[in-house]
Chains A and B, each alone.
Chain A
Amino acid sequence: MSARAWSAPPLIASPRLRYALYAGTLIYLVLAIGTLEVNWARLAEGLQRGAKFVYAFFNPNFGSRWEEILQGMQESLTMTLTATVVGIMISVPVGLGAARNIAPLWIYYPCRALVAVSRSLQEVIIAILFVVMVGFGPFAGFLTISFATIGFLAKLLAEDIESIDPGQVEAIRATGASWSQLVNYGVQPQVMPRLIGLCLYRLDINFRESAVIGIVGAGGIGATLNTAMDRYEYDVAAAIMLIIIVIVMVSEYSSGFVRKWVQ
C-alpha cells in the first residue's frame, strides 16, 4: 500500500468554486494593477519628501502654530462633546422606536429608515452638504457628527432592546404599569450598562471624525491640519497628528476603564 499523505481540508470545500475564485482573483489583479498609473519619477521625488516627513515626525513642531492648533483642538473637542450629547438625545427615542418589541409598526418603519439613511452616508459627504447649508465652521461639523451618531447608536440600542429578557418586561406590565413606566423599569435597567458603553465608544469615534471633517470646511483640528499640509509645514502636521493619536489613546483607555466600572 502506498503511503497516503494527509493534507488539511481547504477553507472552500467545493474545488470548482475554489479554482474559479483563484482565477477570478488573478484576472482582477492583472486588470487592476494594469490600469494603475504610477508616475515613477514623481514617486522617486516623493521618497525624499517622505524621508523629510519621517524626520518631521521625530521632531514635531508644537511651538510656531500653537495658537492655531489650540483653536482647532478647542473646536474639535467642543464639537465632539456637544454633538455626542445631542446625538444621544435623538438616538434614544429613535432607538426605542426602531425596536420591534416595544414600538408599533407605524413608528418602527420611519425610525428604521432614518437609521438606514444615516448609516449609509459617509460622514465627509454629510459634512459637505451641511457646509453648503449652514456655512463654514464648527456648527456644520456639529450637525454632521450628531447625524452620524444617530445611525450608529439608534441601531445598536434597538438591537439591544430587541434582545432583552422579556420576563422582566412581563413582570412590570403585570403590575399595571404604563408604557413609560414599562420602559423606565423593565427595559432601561437591562440596556443601560451597554448603552453607556456604546455612548463612550461613540464619543471616541466622534473625536476621530471631528479631526477629518475639517478638511471639507466643517471646523476642528482637521482644518488646521489641512492648512499645515498646504503650507508644507510637515513638522506642524506631525505635531497635530501626534496630538490626535495621544488624545485617541487616552480616550480609548479611559472609556475602556469607565465601561469596565459600569458593567
Chain B
Amino acid sequence: MPVDSRSGTRIWRRRTSRAQLGLWFGWLLLVALFVFCWRVMTEDTLWPFVLDAPRQAGDVLSRAVPPKWSYIDVLWRPLWDTLNIATLGTLLAIVAAVPVGFLAARNTTPSTRFVRPLALLVIVSSRSINALIWALLLVAILGPGLLAGIIAIALRSIGFIAKLLYEAIEEIDAKQVEAITATGAPASTVVAYGIVPQIMPAFAGISVFRWDINIRESTILGLVGAGGIGLQLDASLNTLAWPQVSLILLLIFATVVLSEWVSARVRHAII
C-alpha cells in the first residue's frame, strides 16, 4: 500500500509517486495530442460560419415548421422501398453469413490455418466499410436503384452477422456435439442436431437486431442514389424544400422507433 509520510504522520495514497507521475505524463500526452489535432482540424474552419450556427439553425427551423403534411402521399412508395431494402438485404446477408460464420468458428472450420483466416478477412472487410460507402460503389457499378441498396446492406451485414454467429458457435456446449457424434451420425447430422439447436436463439436474435440497424441505414442510402426514402430526402434538400425535409425526417424517426420496438419485442420473445 502506497503511503506518504509527511512530518511523521502517515497518509494513505491510492498510487505510488511513480505510478502517479506516469499517469500524469499519459494525460499530458493525451492533452497535447488533442490540442495538436484540434489545431490541424480547424485550420480551414471559417469561424464566422460557426458563430452564425444558432441563427442558421433558427432560420432553418422556422422554414421547416410546420411540415408539409400533404407530401406524405408521395412518400409511401419510397418508404415501402426502404423497408424492402432493409429486409431483403438482411435476408441476403443471412444466407451468405451462415457459411462464413461456420468457416470462421474455431470448432467447425475445416482448417484453422487456411480457411479460418480467409473467413475472418471477409468479416473484417465487410465490417470496416459502411453501408453508405458500399452503396456509393454499387451505384457506380450497377446503376442507381433498389438493387444497389439491397446489395450494399447485405455486404455490410455479412460481417456483422457472421462475427456474432461464429462467436456463438465457439461458445456452444461441446458435450451435445459429442453425444450426437457418438451415435455415429454423419457431419451434416451433427451440425443439424448438435450445433444448430444451440445457436438458433442467438442467431435469430442477431438477425432481428441487424434488421433493426438496417432499417436505420437504409433510410439514408438514397442520398447516394441507392433508392428508398433517402432519394426524396436528397431531392428535398437540394431544392431547399424544408417543410418536406422535416416531414421526411419525422417519418424516418417514426419508422426507426417502430422497428426498434418490433426488434426488442421479437428478441424478448426468443431469449
Contact = CB atoms under 8 A, between A and B. Distances in A.
Interface of A: 8, 11, 28, 32-33, 35-39, 42-43, 45-46, 49-50, 53, 74-75, 77-79, 81-82, 85, 120-122, 124-125, 128, 132-135, 137-139, 142, 208-209, 211-212, 215-216, 222, 225-226, 229, 232, 234, 237, 241, 244-245, 248-249, 252
Contacts of B38: 78, 82
Nearest to A51: B141
A131 to B, nearest CB: 10
Given A39-B145, A244-B128, A122 B217 contact: yes
Contact of A139 (B50, B81, B197, B252): B50
B117 interface: no
Contacts of B217: 122
Interface in B243-271: 249, 252-253, 256-257, 260
A208 B130 contact: yes
B119 interface: no
Contact of A81 (B34, B223, B249, B260): B34
A4 B23 CA distance: 70
B50 A125 contact: no
16 contacts: A11-B200, A37-B146, A38-B147, A42-B142, A46-B143, A81-B34, A122-B219, A124-B223, A125-B219, A137-B46, A138-B41, A208-B128, A211-B130, A212-B132, A229-B136, A244-B129
B56 interface: yes
B40 interface: yes
Given A134-B49, A208-B130, A248 B124 contact: yes
Interface residues of B, number: 58
Interface of B is mostly: helix
B25 interface: no
Sorted nearest first, the 10 A-B pairs with minimum C-beta distance are A248-B128, A78-B37, A135-B49, A78-B41, A46-B142, A133-B53, A42-B143, A212-B130, A32-B84, A139-B45
Contacts of B37: 77-78, 81-82
